[in-house]
Amino acid sequence: MPSAAALNVLVVDDQLTMRSLVRNSLQQLGVREIREAADGEIALREVVTKPVHLVISDFNMPNLDGLGLLRAIRAHPPIQTTAFIMLTGRADRELVQRAVQFGVNNYLVKPFTVAQLKEKLEGVFGPLT
């Protein structure tokens, strides 16, 4: 069982408010190391420079969207096994299917609760302590 406190997470969203909501939810679950990026290009540089256990990324962003970020991470061997949860404002089947094709570990539909986020994290990492 992994410890939530041991996870390091990169939250990627072009909206500061959403990044804050995800950060606060992760903190409530016990995650201590949380970094943020405002778009996929910044996030990719961040994760290549300092790898993380998990990327939680919005789909719609300027410069490099969430699907492009996922594809770039999966194509880069040193970080290609990084867990990835896609955050989206809509339950778009086509988007989810495309994300699954590129190796997304899970997805979370906005708005979400802390309990729903925990469920998605446990779907990726197993029960958190």
Label residue 118 by pLDDT band (50, 70, 90): very high
CA gap 60, 118 in Å, rounded: 23
Q: How far is CA 18 from CA 1, 6, 117, in A?
A: 28, 23, 13
What pLDDT is recorded for position 91?
62
Classify 113 as helix, strand or coil: coil
Q: Which amino acid is present at 22?
A: V
- Of 117, 127, 129, nearest in space to 9 by CA: 117
Q: What is the pLDDT of residues 2-55, one digit of tens each?
A: 789 999 999 999 999 999 999 999 999 999 999 999 999 999 999 999 999 999
Q: What is the pLDDT of residues 75-85, one digit of tens each?
A: 999 999 999 99
CA gap 58, 12 in Å, rounded: 6
Strand pairing class (54-58; 8-12): parallel
Q: What is the pLDDT of residues 46-105, one digit of tens each?
A: 999 999 999 999 998 999 999 999 999 999 999 999 999 999 876 677 887 889 899 999
